[in-house]
Chains A and B, each alone.
Chain A
Amino acid sequence: MRIMKRSSNINRRARGCVIIVAVMLWALNAVAAAPPKDSCIACHSTLPGQYGQPAKLFSADIHHQVGLSCADCHGGDRNDDSMNAMSPSKGFRGAPTKAQIPEFCGRCHSDPSYMRKFNPGLRTDQVSEYLTSVHGKRLKQGDSKVAVCVDCHSVHNIRAPSDPRAPVYPTNVAETCARCHADANYMKGYRIPTNQYALYKKSVHAAVLAGGDTSAPTCSTCHGNHGATPPGVSSVANVCGTCHAMNEQLFEKSPHGAAFAKMGLPGCVQCHSNHEIVKPADSWVGTDPKSLCLTCHVKGDNGYAAAQAIGGGLDKLKAAYHDADAVLDTAERSGMEVSSARVELSSAHSDLIKARVAVHSFNAADVLKITNQGVDTSHKAYEAGIAALHERNYRRKGLAIALIAIVIAISGLYFKIRQMERST
């Protein structure tokens, strides 16, 4: 009886389930069965060449993924199966000319209230920025060779900049710019170099970016993206300083800061170059033949003396650091515990790094204050290493005692054997 009641209960529940599932399936079916009608795609995807290509590419496009269709950009009526869909009376705009493209994209992208529906965080000033760029200004002057939106973002398969396949993803930006800027033929007539990409590829920035750090700078980091323009002489230090803040602050306050500005020299670039920014070496500072200081300074002037002092300070710290490091290595290999000296030495390493930054003050006293501190620390670590090596002498004393005991035992054995064998 009880069992029957339970089973009827189960039956009732099961029936309920079936009904719910059926309703859900029906709802799903209704959604699936009625995809938004799109006569543009239906027709164009059967067409060859330039008429068919956009329809085929569009499924990979971010605009397609947020639910926009061809008609949202190009106008017309996607519900109309006839050629009438593309009549101006239905708002059909067709394909824009190159000069029209910024405004074409800007119809939506410059409209904050429209863009908010899709991505409230997205900026809407790209077109106005673009118009301040060299590209934008030239476009206004009727130059059709310059880059417009689609040249960098591609068209019909536009991906979000955060998509690693997008041509504007950090690791792809340099190649995207280089498509035009490294093409000497294409750039003919502009009287600007075309080797920037090749030089950039040799730089420490490119190496770090290739190493997977997508925050490392590429073309747009310094030149801007939509407002792409070479930074002027006066703004170079600011541009570099967005990342290299300490160096910039020191440089601005240094004697070079004001002097370079007066002479119209572009700060950082003077020593570090612009595109080919290689890893700096300590030999750049000082008075040996490779030193960059000697480009301007000659023996006898204040700059020469400062260069000599700064270069000497760095060399001294490096030598002291390496000596201490070598002694600690030897001690470690001999099985000595020197980890506290190691930690101490790591602060000397910090000092060396800090001193290299402090070089940008071009003030010998400031640099030497840091290097001397590092030299002192290195000396302490060195002493600790030497002290650890003295422990080896203690071991040798122990060894000597054990060896004496062994020699006594061996000679005891020797005499014992002699005595034993003589006696018979």
Chain B
Amino acid sequence: MMSDTGSGKSAAGGEGKPDLGRRWVNLLLGTGIISTIAAFIYPAIRYVIPPPVSESTNLSVVAAKVAELKTNSAKVFRFGSEPAILIRAADGQYRAFTAVCTHLGCTVQYRPDLHEIWCPCHNGTYDLQGRNISGPPPRPLAQFQVHIQGEDIVVVRNA
């Protein structure tokens, strides 16, 4: 089939009986190489461009805007794949906790009438430090740090 072929470059193409014309082969090869390079470069460039959330949302998240919460009210927001609760107490202080009840994992809510965090499933209550004060919850709610950055209320998980 092929013995020592030597340098293919010096031989003039198109002689013999190629299946396709030299031009067609070059076109095929050129298209192939350029399109594959595009197919490899495109994902790499998209990868390098940072995503809109530049950090893992499991560590920090914008829970609300400053204007959003009145005093003595609260908002349940998504933190990673779990609900969390941001409370603006009657004294205006922000506090954030996981909203997952330590008893059976229901989502807790804020009770403006009691000034307490309340779980509707089994009537468990927590105070505004997250401590379990009545009902079945066996442990306090994990607390998060709250930072105010301009208009945003940022909640940060303690690493």
Contact = CB atoms under 8 A, between A and B. Distances in A.
* Same complex origin of A and B: yes
Interface of A: 208, 211, 213, 215-216, 243-247, 338-340, 342-343, 346-347, 349-350, 353-354, 357, 401-402, 404-413, 415-416, 418-424
B18 interface: yes
* Number of chain B interface residues as a range: 35 or more
A412 B32 contact: yes
B32 A349 contact: no
Given A246-B122, A339-B57, A420-B8, 9 more contacts: A338-B81, A346-B100, A350-B107, A354-B106, A405-B32, A405-B35, A408-B31, A419-B13, A419-B20
Nearest to A243: B136
Interface of chain B, main secondary structure: loop
11 contacts: A338-B81, A346-B82, A350-B106, A405-B36, A407-B32, A412-B32, A415-B18, A418-B18, A421-B8, A423-B12, A423-B14
A82 B70 CA distance: 77
Interface string B104-137: 1111000000000000111100000000000110
A407 B11 CA distance: 27
B66 interface: no
Interface of B: 1-2, 5-6, 8, 11-20, 22, 24-26, 28-33, 35-36, 38-39, 57, 78, 80-83, 100, 104-107, 120-123, 135-136, 138
A409 B32 contact: yes
B82 A409 contact: no
A342 B25 CA distance: 53
Contact of B33 (A247, A339, A412): A412
B40 to A, nearest CB: 8
B82 A401 contact: no
A190 B120 CA distance: 44
B29 A424 contact: no
A401 B32 CA distance: 12
A139 B25 CA distance: 110
Nearest to A403: B39
Ranked nearest first, the 4 interchain pairs of A and B with the lowest CB-CB distance are A409-B32, A412-B29, A339-B81, A408-B32
Given A342-B82, A409-B32, A422-B18, A353 B106 contact: yes
B106 A422 contact: no
A380 B82 CA distance: 17
B138 A213 contact: yes
A405 B120 CA distance: 57
B82 A343 contact: yes
A346 to B, nearest CB: 6
B120 A354 contact: yes
